[in-house]
Structures are given as structure tokens and as C-alpha cells.
Chain A
Amino acid sequence: MAEQIGQRSSGGHTGGGHTGGGHSGGGYAGGRSEGGPRAPRPAGGGGPGGPGGRKFFRRKKVCKFCVEKIDGVNYKDVRLLQGFVAESGKIVPRRLTGVCTRHQRRVSAAIKQARNIALLPFSNR
């Protein structure tokens, strides 16, 4: 009996983990996987991607950088970065902006650099 209970609990634990499920699509193969087909996987678009529990379809958001083919994200272009920062100064999650993983990481790094040089605030009230 004890063994059965033990097995059931361990099975539940592994089932509920969310560690591996976060990274959808390509882009996390060590960071330097450039060239080849840069197929922009729209991040988390469509019905099953909505983590907020929405019943209806959210229209597919495309990654702004993949579509406009913007290559480098610099900490210096504050205008561009301000589109990815909330009013409170927080970095907006990519499920709201529709950015792909690769570019979200770059935007995030650029925002942190800009914050360090007082181009963007750490927090706004």
C-alpha cells in the first residue's frame, strides 16, 4: 500500500513540472544558430498558446523584428526599446508583444544595459 502511494505521488510530480515546456520554437540551440531558413515562429500564437485561460482565439501576433528584418538591437535606441517596456518600467513579457524568443532575449539585454546608463528607468513609481 505504501509503495503504491509513493509511486502515485512521484508520477504526479513529474507530470506537473513546467521546466521544459517554456521554450517553444527554435532559437535556443546555443545562441549562434544563424543562417539558413530564418522562419519566424510566431511566439505562442493561436488558441492553445494562451496561458491566461482565454476561450476564444487571440489573433496571431508576429515578431516585429523578424517581420521588419531588424538585425541589431542596441541599448542606444531608446525609442525602439520603449515599446517593450511597460509604464511602470518593467519589461513586457513576450506573450503580450509577440516577439520571438531570440529577439526577446536581445531586447531584454539591451533594456538592462540602457537601464544601467540611465536611458531607461529601473522603475517608474
Chain B
Amino acid sequence: MQRIYEVMFIVRPDMADEDLDKLIVALESQVTTAGGTVKAKEKMGKRRLAYRVGGFLDGFYVLLTLEGGGELVHEIERRLRVTEPVIKFITVRMDEEQKRLDKMKKLRDAKKRSAPAPVATATPEAPTAQAEAAPGEPAAVTA
């Protein structure tokens, strides 16, 4: 039950900020009562829509990242459908993608670590030699 979902929804632009916060808080409490966790929430701001949605040309985007099961998403979507200010939403499942990205990152890091190791050992020798030589000269001058 460790599925990660991203729910992005658009709220009509003429909605008040407090109402929007109330809506988000209500959704979050719904998530926690259903046994999930809200990993992140992000208000993406007002954006121009690519096409007219429900008579509006602008919308306020909100992104929620949730962790939970499939029924949780069902419930959230049902709520969003019923909520009047929400004009569009999309849910994307992200855990498989996240797994793949983490795996690629690990491979990349492993490759990076193995490749520049010989180079890293060579460079510390040169600066230390220079550091020794440089204070040598001014010390001789002051003395």
C-alpha cells in the first residue's frame, strides 16, 4: 500500500484564498482518515489555461502528492468531482516512475564514483606541493 499519487486540480480563479485553504485542509483530513499520508502540497498559482474549461480561461493550480491505496484515490476524486470550485483534475500514479528514477540515479552515481576515482587521488598531490612551496618563499623574505 505504498502507492504514490499526484493529484493536480484546477480551481476556478475567482475563489477566495481562505476557501481554497479550507478545501485543501478538508482533502488532507480525508486522506488521513482513509489511512494515507499527504507527502506534499503545492499551490502552483494562477495560470492561463490552454483552452476554455467550464467557461474560464484562467485557473488556480494545486498539486497534492499522496501516499496510499487505490480506494483513497477513489474517494479523493469523488470529492473533487462534487466540489463546485474544482473544474478539472488529474491523478497520476508515480511510484513506479519514482522507482525507475531512483534506480537510474543510483546507476549514474555508481558510474560517477567509479570513473573519477583515479583522477581524484592525483589532484590532491599537486595542490599540497604548491602550498608547501608558496609559504616557503614569503617566510624566507620576512626572515
Can you show 25 pairs from A to B with CB atoms below 8 A apart?
A34-B100, A34-B103, A35-B103, A35-B107, A69-B108, A71-B100, A71-B101, A71-B104, A71-B105, A72-B97, A72-B101, A76-B63, A113-B90, A117-B8, A117-B89, A118-B10, A118-B49, A118-B50, A118-B53, A118-B88, A119-B50, A120-B50, A121-B50, A121-B51, A122-B51
Q: Does B92 contact A (CB under 8 A)?
A: yes
Q: Does B36 contact A (CB under 8 A)?
A: no
Chain B: minimal CB distance from A104 (Å): 17
Partner of B104, one of A34, A76, A117, A118: A34
Once the chains are docked, how many angstroms separate the CA of A11 from the CA of B109? 53
Interface residues on B, range: 20 to 34
- Is B90 a contact of A116 with CB atoms below 8 Å? yes
Once the chains are docked, how many angstroms separate the CA of A35 from the CA of B28? 38
A residues in contact with B103, CB < 8 Å: 34-35
Once the chains are docked, how many angstroms separate the CA of A116 from the CA of B8? 11
- Is A117 a contact of B90 with CB atoms below 8 Å? yes
Interface residues of B in 30-48 (CB under 8 A from A): 47
The binding surface of chain A is classed by DSSP as loop
Q: Does A115 contact B (CB under 8 A)?
A: yes
**Residue on B with the closest CB to A116?**
B90
Once the chains are docked, how many angstroms separate the CA of A118 from the CA of B63? 14
B residues in contact with A84, CB < 8 Å: none
Interface residues of B in 62-103 (CB under 8 A from A): 63, 88-90, 92, 97, 100-101, 103
Chain A: minimal CB distance from B28 (Å): 21
- Is B59 a contact of A113 with CB atoms below 8 Å? no
A residues in contact with B59, CB < 8 Å: 118
Interface string of A103-125 (1 = CB under 8 A from B): 00000000001011111111000
**Residue on A with the closest CB to B102?**
A71
Once the chains are docked, how many angstroms separate the CA of A119 from the CA of B49? 6
Once the chains are docked, how many angstroms separate the CA of A76 from the CA of B7? 12
Partner of A117, one of B88, B97, B101, B108: B88
Chain A: minimal CB distance from B41 (Å): 15
